[in-house]
Amino acid sequence: MGLNKLWVITGPGTASASELTITGLKPYMSVTTVGDSTYGKYTASITLKPEDFYESANYYEEIDNWGAQPIILKYANSQGVTDFKDGFAPDIAVEDDLFSTIPLGNKEEAMLKKTLENITGVEILATKSAARPSNYTIIDRGFSKYDKNKREVLFEGFDKTLLRIE
């Protein structure tokens, strides 16, 4: 790559190949993470479906609604770093502004701004911004259909489920 430093903007959705890149390059160069902690996925998997095993759908038409996702790889870097199940904490913590109306890639976007300031050593002055709501809750939906947050969306102060996904 011809680089001796790399900055990576991270968040809770930073996982898998992104974390592999971060951990894989750290023994060889300065890697600075900016943002929030990463997800913590140090494995790889493959999706297996009935059509991968049978020549014709006639062989599996009675049980065609299945799949398997076996873990096939656990990786580590050259120093043996692996098992980071809680993800990587950022070197420079920046809270993501979910209500910002700044276009992606604009140097005033919070995480990009902090990254550019760290790279250049020059503070980026932001233009005046509109007031933002301060009382909100982030609903983190899981990946599994068995994750309660994936099936139900609950809001504080309400006694019932507002949305149910089956």
Segment 116-164, tens digit of pLDDT: 999 999 998 866 655 555 666 666 655 555 555 555 555 555 555 445 5
**For 52-56, what is the mean pLDDT?**
77
pTM (two decimals): 0.70
Burial grade of 9 (CB within 10 A; 0-12, 13-18, 19 or more): buried
Give me the pLDDT at residue 55, please: 76
Q: Check whether 1 has a pLDDT greater than 90.
A: no
Cα 48 to its chain centre, rounded Å, is 24
pLDDT value at residue 67: 84
* Mean pLDDT value across residues 91-95: 96
Instruction: Evaluate whether 45 touches 72 at the Cβ level (below 8 Å).
Output: yes
46 neighbors 72 (Cβ within 8 angstroms): yes
- In the chain, the percentage of residues whose pLDDT exceeds 90 is 45
Strand partners, 31: 6
Q: Domain residues of the chain, as ranges? A: 136-166
Query: Distance between CA 26 and CA 56 in Å, rounded?
Result: 47
Distance CA 109, CA 15 (A): 21
Mean pLDDT, the chain, whole residue set: 81
